[in-house]
Amino acid sequence: MKSTYKAVEVSAPGILRVVERSVPEPGVGQVRIRVEACGICHTDMFTVTGTYPGLTLPRVPGHEVVGRIDVLGSGVSRWKIGQRVGVGFLGGECGVCEPCMRGDSANCQNPVVSGVSVDGGYAEVMIAEARGIVSIPDELTSAEAAPLLCAGITTYNALRNAGLRGGDLVAIQGIGGLGHLGIQFARHMGFHTVAIGRGQEKEKLAKDLGAHIYIDAAAEDAAAALQRIGRARAILATAPSGGDAMGPLVSGLAARGKFIVVGAPPDPIQLSALPLIFGGRSVYGSLTGTPIDSEDTLAFSVLENIRPMIETVPLDQAADAYARMMQGKARFRMVLVTKDGAA
Ligand code: ZN
Ligand code: ZN
């Protein structure tokens, strides 16, 4: 086997370049993965721009990684060589911070973060913490499974943990990398599913993904439209831009309704106090989840035949693919594939 591998690293802020590195050995409790596919997530921006707090460069981005284990570090028992596994954003909890001690490891204060605190999946090889990896079902190709490990788990967990009941009116704001999965999960979890997008041309897509109703926020006041339909028990806000468009949607919630933020627009979300007080509505965020939550996401996707809509790109072209994602041209997830993934 070759003693080097290809990786795409951020060498300086804004610069993604292909480099050749020597193949590393996994340490105690780690595995080495031959990467087959890695999704490009909007959050990779914080690595590429060098702005993630505490980040040091060079760093290989990528936290929607699927590949096969080729070496086990010492002390690793659950996993086997040749097994297909995935790594998401949270690549291993610290186990000793207060949230970890309280069993809330998804909110670990000092986690291993793939593509941020350690090198991620824009590469042919990745070292991962064995406690942070997940098993990939045979029904999913590596390129299909990759986006489910961040965009998928983020929307799936946010919806299933919101205390909703079958038949509840649930709106998904944004029809992109996160939203196109959120609509499918909402429909298959049994919710009365509303998609909120911008432009009439998105209506057919939203309905093909499972939305019962489409609201064109470019043509009408989306909160007023929700009030007319019957008010949402939850709104999942997935758009990566337009924080100013999020706040007014709170008025479209039912009493005790929840506005759940999973998309991260750079501008502030403006909120009016009145719909929060009168009706006891709440606004909160949700961050991916644990490895077992990822396995649940994958299993539910297989069960209900939910798939991300992807465009695959060879690893060498990561810089172009990233630029297209940032320009909003990805439909809907760009996934880098290596030689092993294409084979
Ligand atoms: Zn992500
Ligand atoms: Zn912790």
Residue 320 — φ and ψ, nearest 5°?
Answer: -65, -45
Which tokens is 329 given?
Answer: 């041209």
Ligand (nearest to CA of 287): 1
How far does residue 238's CA lie from ligand 1's centre (Å)? 12
Tell me the CA–centroid distance for residue 128 and ligand 2, in Å: 17
The alpha carbon of 89 and the centre of ligand 1 are apart by a number of angstroms equal to: 6
CA 86 to ligand 2 center in whole angstroms? 21
Dist. CA 334–CA 275, nearest whole Å: 38
Ligand nearest to the CA of 120: 1
pLDDT for 343: 56
Architecture of domain 4-150+289-342: Alpha-Beta Complex (3.90)
**Whether pTM exceeds 0.85:** yes
Alpha-carbon distance of 260 to 249, in angstroms, equals: 11
Q: Which ligand is nearest to the CA of 110?
A: 2
The domain segmentation of the chain, as residue ranges, is 4-150+289-342, 162-285
Cα 103 to averaged position of ligand 2 atoms, centre (Å): 9
| Distance, CA of 35 to CA of 69 (rounded, Å) | 9
Sign of the torsion formed by the C-alpha atoms of 315, 320, 322 and 328: negative
Q: SS3 string of 17-38? A: EEEEEECCCCCCCEEEEEEEEE
pLDDT score of 44? 97
Cα(92) to centroid of ligand 2, in Å? 9
Token couple for 204: 């057919």
CB atoms under 10 Å from CB of 35, counted, come to: 29
Asked whether this chain's domains 4-150+289-342 and 162-285 adopt the same fold, the reply is no
Per-residue pLDDT tens listing for the chain (343 residues): 689 999 999 999 999 999 999 999 999 999 999 999 999 999 999 999 999 999 999 999 999 999 999 999 999 999 999 999 999 999 999 999 999 999 999 999 999 999 999 999 999 999 999 999 999 999 999 999 999 999 999 999 999 999 999 999 999 999 999 999 999 999 999 999 999 999 999 999 999 999 999 999 999 999 999 999 999 999 999 998 888 889 999 999 999 999 999 998 889 999 999 999 999 999 999 999 999 999 999 999 999 999 999 999 999 999 999 999 999 888 889 999 999 887 5
What dotted CATH number matches 162-285?
A: 3.40.50.720
